Amino acid sequence: MSRIREILLTQYIGAITIALVAAQGLTAIVNLATIPLRWYLEFHNPGSQSVLFNATPRQIPFPWQGALMGATGVVLYLGVAYGLLRWLYPTASKDVHPPSEDDSPSESETRA
C-alpha cells in the first residue's frame, strides 16, 4: 500500500482523483437539490392537464426513494474523497506548536 500511496502522491494522480470524486459529489448535491423542483414542475404544473379528460390534478407522491438514493450517493462520493484526502495527505504531527514568548530571542541577541 505504501508503494501505491507513493505513486499517487508523486504523479499527482491522487490529487486529480480526489478532485474528480469531490466534483462528482458536488454534482450529486446539485442533482439532489433539484429533485423537489423537478417533481413540482412535472406533476403540479397547471398546463400539464389534459383538456380531453377529467381536469382533476394528479396526486403523485414525492419520490422519496430517489431522494434517498441521491443522498446516499452524495455521502459515498464525499466520504471516499475525504478518505483519500486523509490517507494521501495526513495532517501535521500534534507535537508541532507555535513558538511561545519564552522561545523568542532576548534583547541582547537581537542587537548583535
Domain presence at residue 104 = no
- Write out the residue range of the structural domain in which residue 71 sits: 1-45+62-90
Domain presence at residue 96 = no
Domain presence at residue 55 = no
* pLDDT at 1 (0 to 100): 84
List Cβ neighbours of 73 (8 Å cut-off, separation of 6 or more).
28, 32
* pLDDT at 63 (0 to 100): 87
Domain presence at residue 102 = no
Domain presence at residue 57 = no
Closest CA to 84 of 12, 17, 6, 25: 17
1-21 pLDDT, tens per residue?
888 888 888 888 999 999 999
**CA–CA dist 78, 48 (Å, integer):** 37
Task: Kindly state the average pLDDT of the residues 22-38.
Answer: 94
Domain presence at residue 103 = no
How many CB atoms lie under 10 A from the CB of residue 44? Answer: 12
Angle at 78 between CA 8 and CA 22, to 5 degrees: 60
This prediction's pTM: 0.66
58-97 pLDDT, tens per residue?
677 888 999 999 999 999 999 999 999 999 988 855 555 5
